[in-house]
Chains A and B, each alone.
Chain A
Amino acid sequence: MSELIAFLEADKTVISRRPAIIADLAKLLPEACLITEERALVPFDTDAFVSYRRMPLAVVLPETTAQVAAVLKYCNDNSIPVIPRGAGTSLSGGAIPQEDAIVIGVSKMNRILEVDYPNRAAVVQAGVTNISISQAVEADGFFYAPDPSSQLACTIGGNIGMNSGGAHCLKYGVTTNNLMGVKMVMFDGSIVDIGGRALDSAGYDLLGLICGSEGQLGIVTEATVRLIAKPEGARPVLFGFDNSVAAGACVTDVIGSGIIPVAIEYMDKPAIEICEAFAKAGYPMDVEALLIVEVEGSDAEMDAMLERIIEIARRHGVKTIKESQSATEAALIWKGRKSAFGATGRIADYICMDGTVPLGQLSHVLQKTSEIIDHYGLRVANVFHAGDGNMHPLILFDANDPEESLKAEKAGNDILRLCVDVGGCLTGEHGVGIEKRDLMRHQYSDADLAQQMRVRGAFDPQWILNPSKVFPLDGRNGSQPGNQSAATDTRTAA
């Protein structure tokens, strides 16, 4: 398909030095940590934003922080771009490589190093999967709160790169609110420790800056994360409505009433149908909009909260209320929701948007989204985190139809502009990557972006780290170091 999004033009001199670079890398890492054969490189040519693919020069999978440092120093000394990679589940193309780049993957660094209950902290390597942290501490009554839908596969390193959220961050916050410290390799191979088990650190809040920096400030190899006491119980309840406006108003009223549920998820009719067909979760099929509201605590607490939420839902004309009667039913309800992206992938190709809007704008944005989709003659399924306004319209299209593919990308861009125009932002939890890079100017002024780029440069003077991402290629100041290759590559891929 033809491509709307450009990458930086690959540096031909780097590519021409490939054999020598591979020989040098072989001196820095054990043989099993270096991937150079074309067939073995294919799994690294994209992430979950599969419309775009680029083969990297080589992939390294280090086993230690020292190895990461050695490779990064080598790349910086030789001006070779570096693409940090966790599990490759980015929905915005954050981990897609380029032909002149070395991918540094952290998947072999997958050990939980220490669990410290008195300080409610766990120290883990960057390649640990999100869910394995909660699994490791579950028996002792703790969990790690951020829970992106991809939590079975995605790594904590990737979560830090994108400041990942999830369904339960309405109550517990996103990665940045649950991250206490990192060990990070800087561009020149120096290793820094930021934060730790104290609740705040000295000096500037570098931890807050690094979280969500999309692999452009350094490579995180270890993280100290917050553990939270696991609630006694949790109960998701389904609320079906005849229209999206009533469902949206119910969300606002629940939040405004003083009750903060753990999660409020929204699904429209197409999303309900897709997820129910896949998960058999018992979702009501005769409603236009469905809310999954989860409360937690002891039975008495949950009863008290639900009583109030149900009263609010009734005021908004709720049509169906279904409480889960068992842990199995509760698990099915979440399985349906969390498999929304995968289940959608079974029936069509899709791109998933991630704009966040102020709560009061939910109904308006849903309405406008459907107008935009109609305009392009496409279909959409909406499934998202309503409690914090983080929308996820899934735009369905046929990837074999180049015209329809382009329409889908354009519709997605229109929806994101809409999110910004009503006071929201381009991305709530998936990151900018390449996907939203060229829309950054819709949200930020030149001065805003220039300030961000200067800070980025303070961490990576040559801009070797994930260079094609986040910042529009054409706006990069030519006087900035590392932008000699900022001529864009607008080729059409096969």
Chain B
Amino acid sequence: MSEVETRYPETEQEVARIVADAFAAGLPIEVRGGGTRKGFGRPVQAASALSVAKLSGITNYDPSELVMAARAGTSVAEVEAALAVNNQMLTFEPIDHRPLLGAEGEPTIGGVFAGNISGPRRILAGAARDSLLGVRFVNGTGEIVKSGGRVMKNVTGLDLVKLLAGSWGTLGVLSEVIFKVLPRPETTLSVAVAGLNDAQAAEAMAAALAMSVEVSGAAHLPESVVHKFADVGVRGSAATVLRLEGLEPSVEVRRARLIAEMSRRGEVTVVEHQPSLQLWREIRDVVPFADGTMKPVWRVSVAPSQGHQLVAALRLKTGVDAFYDWQGGLVWLRMEADPEADLVRRYIKALGGGHATLVRADAETRTSVPVFEPQSGPLLALSGRIKDQFDPGGILNPGRMTAAV
């Protein structure tokens, strides 16, 4: 696909004008932030592109209110740097997709919310959509619309904020996002259990999450991937890692309780503060599969107790490598050759449901294989009706999520 002309509006009004003109002319637009996740989703066929990368800057941040507002094109790096000065952070640990996709550029905060990009802490602190309090966006006719606000609790009217999160620019062009932030934990560490198989690991993680120790990350790294991580504290066998965060005295107490429980399941080591930070960054960014290839990578979301069963079933049929986050409910799959979309999705359905997204594949595959889980029946019709209410001309990122929207 040849590069199309890209415009870089610097104000919300400019965005509105560009979209209004495109709507009047019936010309589709590819909507972009930093473009680092361009390789994710169906390739968009559009006459021109609109990047919000120059619509940037933090617009409101009072650390004592735990809320930040920023224009959509503000880089994640700028947001995180400003938060770090005040010892705060984004709770949902957005994934940096660049290593996995081999992409360049700067991820933007708008892009993070448009893709609802959530990392390991999702099991405790919620997804990106749970942190998003308010949005301003330009809908597909060029109107500027706001929803939500800058307060933590808000049930005033329909929650369009949630709808925009994860809509990949198909409902509106985000111009500003307002989100909750949290103090950084004073300390963190991980408890690693060695040598569990995938099924034992699922049980161990469920047991850890059933304890009142507030595990903020629960991942299982099978033997085939464990050597790809810098420091797991475990060598030569699978590692099941459980993260604790918080005030020092509190983490001390919880660490002892967690170790007591996990020691019954396997040999336990502790990954201390700095190496633990590094380990979870690598889990977050899918480092084992950031291999410089275009081998297909799936992101599968299922009930946590089902993840390992899916992988076991797939292994009997095809070449696949896997590791688990979110207590086993987030499965990263790297296929040896073919994406095997039908097989993956059929097994997910048989195991009680969930969905699979083809995060990495060459453009040709992404056009022929549904990247996002196909919907059917009343939900498909409903999604189409919702799309029409935001973008009646079908000009915003046409085809990005499915052939229909």
Contacts and interface: CB of A to CB of B under 8 A. Distances in A.
Contact of B145 (A120, A305, A451): A451
A229 B250 CA distance: 16
Interface stretch (B2-10, B157-165, B188-196, B290-298): B157-165
A165 interface: yes
Contacts of B153: 165, 169, 174, 356, 385, 388-390, 428-429
Interface string B381-397: 01101101110000000
A448 B147 contact: yes
Nearest to B154: A425
Interface in B349-405: 352-355, 357, 372-373, 375, 377-379, 382-383, 385-386, 388-390, 401
Contact of B353 (A186, A198, A206, A459): A198
Contacts of A457: 389
B32 interface: no
A367 interface: no
B154 A203 contact: no
B265 interface: no
Given A359-B65, A424-B151, A447-B143, A455 B375 contact: no
Contact of A177 (B126, B146, B166): B126
Interface in B22-71: 62-67
Nearest to B303: A197
Interface in A12-39: none
A203 B64 contact: no
A358 interface: yes
A432 B184 CA distance: 35
Nearest to B148: A425
B326 interface: yes
A424 B150 CA distance: 7
Given A119-B303, A455-B163, A213 B158 contact: yes
B212 A141 contact: yes
A257 B88 CA distance: 10
B152 A389 contact: yes
Contacts of A121: 303
A443 B248 CA distance: 42
A360 B151 CA distance: 11
Nearest to B203: A118
A142 interface: yes
Interface string A106-123: 000000000011111100
B102 interface: no
Contacts of B305: 118-119
Interface string B319-340: 0000000100110000000000
A425 B161 CA distance: 14
Contact of B67 (A194, A358, A426): A358
B275 interface: no
A432 B152 CA distance: 17
Given A197-B352, A209-B159, A388-B151, A447 B144 contact: yes
Given A209-B163, A456-B158, A199 B329 contact: yes
Interface centre among B63, B156, B206 (most CB of A within 10 A): B156
Nearest to A299: B253
A201 B355 contact: yes
Given A425-B156, A436-B156, A458-B389, A231 B212 contact: yes
B378 A190 contact: yes
Given A298-B253, A358-B150, A451 B160 contact: yes
A197 B123 CA distance: 12
A120 B210 contact: yes
A253 interface: yes
Given A258-B183, A358-B65, A204 B146 contact: no
B87 interface: yes
Contact of A205 (B123, B156, B162, B206): B162
A120 B354 contact: no
Given A205-B162, A454-B389, A253 B379 contact: no
B212 A432 contact: no
A316 B305 CA distance: 48
Contact of B383 (A186, A204, A470): A204
Contact of A176 (B158, B160, B162): B162
Contact of A427 (B156, B303, B386, B390): B156
B141 to A, nearest CB: 10
Interface in B178-216: 182-184, 186, 202-203, 206, 209-213
B247 interface: yes
A242 to B, nearest CB: 22
A120 B301 contact: no
B372 A199 contact: no
Contact of A173 (B130, B160, B379, B385): B130
A360 B62 contact: yes
Interface in A360-390: 360, 385, 388-390
A28 to B, nearest CB: 21
Contacts of A308: 247
Nearest to B356: A202
A459 to B, nearest CB: 7
Interface string A302-342: 01110010000000000000000000000000000000000
B211 A297 contact: no
B302 interface: yes
A474 interface: no
- Say whether chain B's binding surface is mostly helix, strand, loop, or mixed: mixed
B151 A358 contact: yes
Nearest to B208: A229
A203 B247 contact: no
B220 interface: no
A428 B302 contact: no
Interface in A420-439: 423-432, 436
B64 A252 contact: yes
A230 B211 CA distance: 8
A401 interface: no
A436 B156 CA distance: 9
B224 to A, nearest CB: 24
Contacts of A186: 378, 382
Nearest to A227: B210
Contact of A199 (B123, B171, B386): B123
B266 interface: no
B159 A198 contact: no
Contacts of B375: 202-203
Contacts of A213: 158-159
Contact of B155 (A118, A196, A259, A432): A432
A424 B357 CA distance: 37
Given A208-B129, A356-B151, A455-B386, A300 B249 contact: yes
Contacts of B122: 199
Contacts of A131: none
Nearest to A389: B151
B74 interface: no
A85 B125 CA distance: 31
Nearest to B357: A202
Contacts of B382: 186, 192, 206, 458-459
Nearest to A300: B253
Interface in A224-275: 229-232, 252-253, 255-260
A200 to B, nearest CB: 5
Contacts of A358: 62, 65, 67, 150-151
A447 B145 contact: yes
A449 interface: yes
B139 interface: yes
Given A196-B354, A300-B253, 11 more contacts: A198-B353, A199-B122, A209-B159, A211-B159, A230-B212, A258-B87, A436-B156, A447-B143, A455-B389, A470-B157, A470-B158
11 contacts: A117-B210, A199-B304, A208-B161, A303-B249, A356-B154, A425-B149, A451-B139, A451-B147, A455-B163, A457-B389, A458-B388
| Top 3 A-B residue pairs of the complex, sorted by shortest distance between their CB atoms | A208-B162, A202-B373, A258-B183
